[in-house]
């Protein structure tokens, strides 16, 4: 009795696309059936290949047929239907896949079996969103079917607003749903018969230093890279053997290669024919790939590892032919698409290389930046993970044993970021929807976007509700503001306002994306900051001496005390007076609590250079940087280091498009706050760990002091140095430390 090999596709649904039924399955395998197989035997194979539990799932078996160029869903209900399917797979030139739709038994009882395309007008990802309880497609509001969705904050288990304190709860946009993070791939996985794909102009199929290969196809406007992006990462494909290839899985097949682990088909039994696919660098007849891009990537990787070079000979919607760069070498691969799917299958393969290694270049022409970007793009799926060009060069050397230059690594990184996070233009277009959803899942979050008259982006502002509540209720009123340039396609500047919590940790309050640091942008940002914190008594704002910041603080926060960052002041002095080194005296003069000590340091600066003295006392306004004369309470925050530290945290993601940049910030804050909450729950008593250590240290020093009581609340402390007087009633000390 003969057998027939058959493709099996599952984990998908039927959709109606341009009048044609298309199956969107993401997993594939194959089975072998006797020519006389029954319906029950085929159903048994279906459960076996999918691994589903019979008690929990029912499986609908279907395949697609074609009548007058229109594809139709053909159900399999009995033995006759199975016989027809086997006949098509045996007699036709193209294999007809078996499509499996699995549903839980309760769902199968509720839905009529014939409604294969009841939701065919709704994109797959949005339909998944609705099933997750998010709402209708319109409610997702992200403009694309491949964007992430969110769920209410109370479902995340992070905690309520009352538990915020200095450990507020933040729900990161990219971590709050099981659906994939924002994906800018094409929502249509399938080919349009009325259009050809833009193949020859796709740089992925080109090698470095190689001219474009001629083609008669017309541009389609949809590339396989977009199709590839739409397919889940966990898709698994196994080797398929078709009847028309006259290959028997029970036979041993050797390709003659000197590397048996790369190209070999081992002897298998019929039951083993559905085993897991070969991993690594295997290539064989009837191997199925998830799109032409994946196939091209695989071929290039094999060529690089085998120290050979290949080129594309033919590339259109119906075939993909790759040959050795040496025209005399017989090595060749020919693949074609599987009808009505995004899958490609290897139909012809000659593994014999007769070419010389003299053709090779040291950097291997097949290792284009597009090829490298495909290898590394998963590294950017988590925006908080940094993978710079130097790391790319090292990774390529380690895995492929070839050298690439910094420029190629940079371009590969840029393309990988665009592939995973979307282009800057796409990201700016999706920014309003992102901020809208961010407010929905993080109660109290404030966001603003301002556009120019022509509709182009100007500014955006983001402050998480948890950060606002924590600052207003538990954080000392000292805010450090700063700006740092962005390195994306359109440049720009990231503005931020940061405080310090009770455990001496960075506490970000607000972020803004603007064109540059100028009067208008800083004024806009400070106005938005004022809207969220309101009038706050004893507010202190610390910054550098940027003229736009000085003007903005005076205009927007007239009642706040403006302090100057001591470190930036030192840098200004070094730049303005290049041959004068007074840094040590400046820091001592700025930090001391004692007026006499301050004057002593300033006299030293006067002796070094009177110009520096005049600059520090008049132009820089000594009361803004010297603690002894400062009219407000800085709480030992003498620099903008807390803001600079936040800039450092975001240093390697400043080239990300705006949505990914903001999402990275939200993710970072959620991780910080969750960790801090755990630490806070373990603290004993009302003091934070940092504060308790400070008090313990001060207590140890005070054991050698002699204290003489002056009255009921005043004490004279003999410390051997300044001997200050402490008044516990008004909480002051003559040393001016409190």
Q: What is the CATH number of domain 3-121?
A: 3.10.20.90
* Residues 6 or more apart whose Cβ sits within 8 Å of residue 57: 102, 103, 104, 105
Q: Is 633 exposed, middle or buried (0-12, 13-18, 19+ CB in 10 A)?
A: middle
Pairing of strands 561-564, 540-543: parallel
Give the pLDDT of residue 117. Answer: 37
* pLDDT above 90: percentage of residues in the chain: 24
Give the pLDDT of residue 191. Answer: 28
CA distance 295 to 337: 11
Looking from the CA of 516 toward its CB, the CA atoms found within 13 Å total 3
Looking from the CA of 161 toward its CB, the CA atoms found within 13 Å total 14
pLDDT in tens, 10-64: 888 888 776 677 787 778 877 888 888 888 888 888 888 888 888 888 888 988 7
pLDDT in tens, 91-101: 554 567 888 98
Q: Delimit the domains of the chain by residue range.
A: 3-121, 190-362, 367-421, 441-674, 681-733
Tell me phi and psi for residue 462, to 5 degrees.
-145, 130
pLDDT in tens, 622-651: 999 999 999 998 988 999 998 888 888 888
pLDDT in tens, 480-534: 999 998 988 788 999 999 999 999 999 999 999 999 999 999 999 999 999 999 9
Residue 153 predicted with pLDDT over 80: no
The 10 Å Cβ neighbour count of residue 56 is 10
CA 604 to chain centre: 53
Give the pLDDT of residue 66. Answer: 60
CA distance 340 to 343: 9
Label residue 384 by pLDDT band (50, 70, 90).
Answer: low
CA distance 202 to 186: 16
Label residue 71 by pLDDT band (50, 70, 90).
Answer: low
């Amino acid at each position: 009795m003969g057998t027939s090999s058959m493709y099996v596709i599952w984990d998908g649904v039927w959709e109606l696309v341009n009048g044609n039924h298309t199956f969107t399955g993401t997993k594939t395998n194959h089975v072998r059936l006797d020519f006389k197989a029954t319906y029950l035997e085929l159903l048994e194979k279906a459960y076996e290949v999918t691994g589903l539990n019979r008690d929990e799932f029912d499986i609908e078996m279907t395949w697609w047929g074609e009548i007058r160029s229109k594809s139709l869903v053909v159900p399999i209900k009995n033995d006759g239907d199975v016989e027809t399917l086997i006949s098509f797979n045996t007699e036709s030139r193209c294999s007809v896949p078996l499509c499996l739709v699995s549903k839980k038994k309760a769902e199968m009882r509720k839905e009529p079996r014939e409604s294969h395309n009841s939701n065919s007008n709704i994109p797959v990802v949005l339909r998944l969103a609705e099933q997750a309880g998010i709402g209708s497609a319109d409610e997702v509001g992200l403009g694309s079917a491949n964007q992430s969705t969110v769920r209410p904050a109370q479902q995340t288990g992070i905690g309520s607003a009352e538990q915020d304190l200095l450990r507020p709860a933040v729900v990161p946009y990219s971590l709050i749903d099981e659906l994939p993070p924002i994906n800018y791939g094409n929502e249509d996985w399938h080919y349009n018969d009325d259009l050809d794909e833009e193949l020859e102009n796709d740089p992925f199929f080109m090698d470095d230093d190689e001219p474009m290969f001629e083609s008669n196809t017309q541009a389609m406007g949809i590339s396989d890279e977009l199709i590839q992006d739409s397919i889940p990462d966990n898709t698994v494909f196994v080797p398929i053997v078709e009847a028309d290839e006259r290959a028997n899985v029970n036979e041993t097949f050797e390709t003659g290669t000197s590397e048996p682990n790369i190209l070999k088909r081992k002897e298998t039994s019929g039951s083993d024919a559905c085993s897991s696919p070969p991993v690594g660098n295997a290539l064989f007849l009837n191997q199925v790939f998830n799109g032409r891009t994946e196939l091209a990537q695989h071929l290039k990787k094999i060529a690089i590892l085998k120290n050979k070079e290949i080129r594309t000979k033919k590339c259109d919607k119906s075939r993909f032919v790759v040959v050795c760069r040496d025209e005399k070498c017989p090595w060749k691969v020919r693949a074609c698409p599987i009808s009505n799917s995004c899958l490609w299958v290897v139909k012809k393969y000659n593994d014999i290389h007769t070419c010389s290694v003299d053709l090779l270049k040291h950097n291997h022409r097949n290792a284009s930046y597009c090829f490298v970007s495909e290898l590394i793009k998963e590294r950017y799926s988590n925006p908080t993970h940094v993978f710079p060009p130097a790391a790319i060069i090292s990774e390529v050397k380690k895995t492929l044993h070839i050298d690439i230059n910094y420029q190629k690594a940079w371009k590969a990184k840029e393309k990988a970021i665009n592939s995973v996070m979307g282009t800057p233009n796409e990201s700016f277009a999706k920014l309003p929807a992102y901020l809208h959803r961010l407010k929905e899942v993080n109660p109290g979050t404030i966001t603003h976007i301002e556009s120019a008259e022509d509709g182009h982006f100007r500014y955006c502002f983001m402050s998480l509700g948890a950060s606002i509540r924590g600052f207003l209720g538990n954080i000392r009123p000292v805010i450090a503001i700063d700006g740092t340039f962005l390195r994306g396609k359109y440049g720009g500047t990231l503005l931020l306002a940061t405080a310090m919590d009770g455990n001496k940790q960075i506490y970000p309050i607000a972020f803004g994306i603007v064109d540059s640091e100028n009067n208008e942008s800083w004024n806009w940002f400070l106005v938005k900051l004022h809207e969220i914190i309101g009038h706050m008594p004893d507010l202190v704002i610390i910054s550098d001496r940027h003229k736009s910041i000085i003007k903005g603080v005076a205009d927007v926060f007239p009642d706040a005390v403006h302090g100057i960052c001591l470190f930036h002041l030192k840098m200004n002095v070094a730049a303005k007076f290049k041959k004068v080194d007074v840094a040590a005296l400046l820091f001592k003069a700025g930090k001391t609590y004692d007026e006499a000590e301050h004057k002593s340091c300033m006299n030293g600066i006067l002796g070094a250079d009177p110009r520096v003295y005049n600059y520090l006392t008049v132009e820089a306004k000594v009361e803004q940087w010297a603690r002894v004369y400062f009219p407000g309470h800085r709480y030992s925050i003498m620099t903008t280091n807390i803001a600079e530290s936040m800039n450092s945290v975001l240093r390697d993601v400043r080239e990300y498009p705006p949505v990914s940049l903001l999402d990275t910030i939200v993710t970072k804050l959620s991780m910080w706050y969750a960790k801090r909450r755990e630490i806070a729950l373990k603290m004993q008593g009302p003091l934070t760990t940092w504060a308790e250590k400070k008090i313990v240290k001060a207590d140890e020093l005070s054991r050698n002091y002699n204290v003489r009581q002056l009255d009921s609340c005043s004490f004279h402390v003999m410390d051997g140095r300044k001997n200050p007087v402490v008044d516990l009633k008004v909480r002051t000390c003559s040393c001016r430390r409190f």
